[in-house]
Amino acid sequence: MPTPSERVAAAYARIAEVDRPEVWITLRPEQEVAMEAEALEERLASGEEPPLAGVLVAVKDNIDVVGLPTTAGHPRYAYTPKVSATAVERLVSAGALVLGKTNLDQFATGLVGTRSPYGAVRNALDPERVSGGSSSGSAVAVAMGIADVALGTDTAGSGRVPAALHGIVGLKPTLGLVPNAGVVPAAAPYDSVTVFAADQATAARALRVMAGPDPRDPNGRAWPADVRLAPRDPARVAVPDATGLAPLSDAERDAFRAAAARLVAAGVAVEEVDIAPLLEAARLLYDGALVAERHAAVGAFLAAHREDEGTDPTVAGIILAAADLSAPALATDQHRLAAYRATARELLDGCDGLLVPTTVGHPTLAEVAADPVGVNSRLGTYTNFVNLLDLAAVAVPAGTADGRTFGVSVVTGAFEDQVALDLAGLLTDREPGRVHPSDVVELAVFGAHLRGQPLAHQLTDLGARFLEDTETGAEYRLYALDTVPPKPGLQRVARDGAAIRCEVWLISRAGLGAFLAGLPAPMSLGAVTLADGRTVVGFGCDAAAVEGAQDITGHGGWLAYRKSLG
């Protein structure tokens, strides 16, 4: 495996090879990053094991990196932060190495990647076409094999559209899950730090490190106690009906339906729904009064610098027009948005997620120049509603359409990021990675709650996640209890014990409480020691419950015993 120093050298060689200067606003000197790589190698030699050791990161230039200017895509806006954004701090602490700051649609306003005085960012696969924005440079840095991970931001789809246009992965986490401290706001209530990577597992590793509240971010949120860790079994996914897919070309519709068919082949139940209310909600972001949030972020600056050479006229027009909006208009649209959120919950009730195309078409640079607003709006057809409705999303490649990359997104409820990753993994046949919190409970099950057994749904209904097949230490005996449905009873013994096969699941603390509350006699939960020595929560029963019960320890586990019955 290459050392961090070797990886840095390869990245800078790749930067020279591809010759795409518009990707970067500030590229750090190679020697500076190489020195950090050497320091990291010393940490590794001393026995440290940082989880992201040597991972190369590109950072969108509306996210602070200490010592590097933050421009947000406007030269006159530039300032040099004394501390990094929380997301960057956490990546660096975990061993990541920052290469530099990437280009973007000015003030993160756009989905095309062309609205920048630092140059239009060309697509990595076809330089005549747009990269997608606003996180344009970040996506291209990953797509060209320069950075392992790149940070973007997403308000209307900027962490997903560029992923679709490059055939890479874009993780758009639940709002507030990654702190926005040190991020120039676009529309603060709806902004999210996002991750690009070539695969889900790499992106998930970075997101897991960055997640968690920070007092510097008043809008930060923690994982809830009842967080879902996996889809139900079988999973259920909604897809748009024929009307909802109308904006796509014939080839794009075929590619989308092929993606839905892959879910069905993986055992997922797919049902069509009317997504019109979601698309209506999406229009509030720019066509309604919610655009006032963008004016609150940078409107005063743009009003003072509208005539500057570095000001993008399309961006200025969008943001400064919001100055004429009234407070009652904003309040009205906020109330409308609350109603749409309720509608979305009802629409997706009983579903683990919603599968949508990530974007519509792939415009050329010339097409954007001819119709900058109209083309941009089409790109956001299936992305604009997600943050407004407090949803999470994972964008993944889904083949080709019209000769170009095509992508889909799995959209889930807030804090169901792991569910979205798992469902997306069924589409890519790649390891989904883990972003769920570490503060969860390991639960050992021995009988009716094993996968494929009659009560397994009680775990998956609570969002529990299968972890492993294993066995206990050699100090237990197993009995067949006279219950409906049949269940085993586990007893710890002082002598003549044996190892018993079991499964270990991960479950949230609140989920475990709900599970325990519904546990019928004579079952109980207590400490169980596994073969590797760790202690987990597991099923047991008292001595009275096994009096007269058949001792089935010799079978080694419940499934072997049941099989012996024929």
Q: Are residues 149 and 195 in the same domain?
A: yes
Token pair, residue 143, equals 């797509």
Identify which of 316, 404, 289 has the alpha carbon closest to the alpha carbon of residue 77: 316
Q: Are residues 179 and 208 in the same domain?
A: yes
Q: Are residues 415 and 468 in the same domain?
A: no
Q: Are residues 396 and 526 in the same domain?
A: no
Q: Are residues 43 and 137 in the same domain?
A: yes
- Range(s) of the domain holding residue 523: 441-564
Annotated active-site positions, please?
A: 60, 134, 158
Identify which of 471, 441, 444 has the alpha carbon closest to the alpha carbon of residue 539: 444
List the chain pLDDT tens, one digit each, 566 residues: 899 999 999 999 999 999 999 999 999 999 999 999 999 999 999 999 999 999 999 999 999 999 999 999 999 999 999 999 999 999 999 999 999 999 999 999 999 999 999 999 999 999 999 999 999 999 999 999 999 999 999 999 999 999 999 999 999 999 999 999 999 999 999 999 999 999 999 999 999 999 999 999 999 999 999 999 999 999 999 999 999 999 999 999 999 999 999 999 999 999 999 999 999 999 999 999 999 999 999 999 999 999 999 999 999 999 999 999 999 999 999 999 999 999 999 999 999 999 999 999 999 999 999 999 999 999 999 999 999 999 999 999 999 999 999 999 999 999 999 999 999 999 999 899 999 998 999 999 999 999 999 999 999 999 999 999 999 999 999 999 988 899 999 999 999 999 999 999 999 999 999 999 988 888 889 999 999 999 999 998 888 888 989 999 999 999 999 999 98
Please say which residue of 376, 401, 428 terminates a domain.
428
Q: Are residues 447 and 371 in the same domain?
A: no
Q: Are residues 418 and 469 in the same domain?
A: no
Q: In CATH, what number is assigned to the domain containing residue 529? A: 3.10.490.10
Q: Are residues 450 and 482 in the same domain?
A: yes
Overall number of domains in the chain = 2
Q: Are residues 422 and 518 in the same domain?
A: no
* 444, 502 contact by CB (below 8 A): yes
Q: Are residues 382 and 469 in the same domain?
A: no
Q: What b/e sequence results for 276-287 when a residue is b if at least 16 CB atoms lie within 10 Å of its CB, and e otherwise?
A: ebbbebbebbbe
Q: How much helix, strand and coil, in percent to the nearest 5, is found in the chain?
A: 40, 20, 40
Q: Are residues 469 and 412 in the same domain?
A: no
* 150, 196 contact by CB (below 8 A): yes
**Is 307 a domain residue?**
no
Beta sheet of 465-471, edge-to-edge order: 465-471, 501-507, 441-445, 535-541, 523-529
Please say which residue of 371, 396, 428 terminates a domain.
428
